[in-house]
Amino acid sequence: MEIKIRNNQNIYRTNLSPQNVQKNGYFSNNSLKNDVFEKANVTFKGLNPEEILKSFEKFEITEYKKLIPEQIEVLRDGMSERLIKDRNAGIVIGDIIKDCLEKTYPNGYVLCIIGRSLTVPVKSLEHRGMRDIKYCPFTTSRIGKPAPNGLFKDIISGLPTEKVSKYGEYLKSIGLSPTEIEKSQKTYVFTDYTGSGDTLKNFQILLERPEIGINSNNVHYKSLNKDLISGLYDESSLIELEGNRYNAKQLIKDYLQQHGFKLGVYPHIQRLPYTDLDEVKKIMEQPYYEKSKKMQFALIDYFAKKGLLKE
Query: Each residue's pLDDT tens digit in the chain (311 positions)?
Result: 443 434 334 444 444 443 433 333 333 344 444 444 444 444 444 579 999 999 999 999 999 999 999 999 999 999 999 999 999 999 999 999 999 999 999 999 999 999 999 999 999 999 999 999 999 999 986 544 555 555 677 899 999 999 999 999 999 999 999 999 999 999 999 999 988 889 999 999 999 999 999 999 999 999 999 999 988 988 788 888 888 888 888 888 888 875 555 787 899 999 999 999 999 999 999 999 999 999 999 999 999 999 999 98
Residue 34 burial (CB < 10 Å; 0-12/13-18/19+)? Answer: exposed
List, in sequence order, every residue forming a beta bridge with 223; answer none if it has no partner.
192
Position 176: which residue type?
Answer: L
35-74 pLDDT, tens digit each: 444 444 444 445 799 999 999 999 999 999 999 999 999 9
Task: Say what the pLDDT of residue 38 is.
Answer: 45
Q: Which of 195, 208, 205 minimizes the C-alpha distance to 150?
A: 195
Q: How large is the angle between the packed helices 81-104 and 248-256, nearest 10 degrees?
A: 120
Task: Say what the pLDDT of residue 257 is.
Answer: 75
68: left (phi over 0), alpha (psi -120 to 50) or beta: beta
Length of the chain: 311
Task: Say what the pLDDT of residue 253 is.
Answer: 84
Task: Say what the pLDDT of residue 261 is.
Answer: 58
- Give the span between the Cα atoms of 96 and 83, in whole angstroms: 20
- Give the span between the Cα atoms of 226 and 245, in whole angstroms: 22
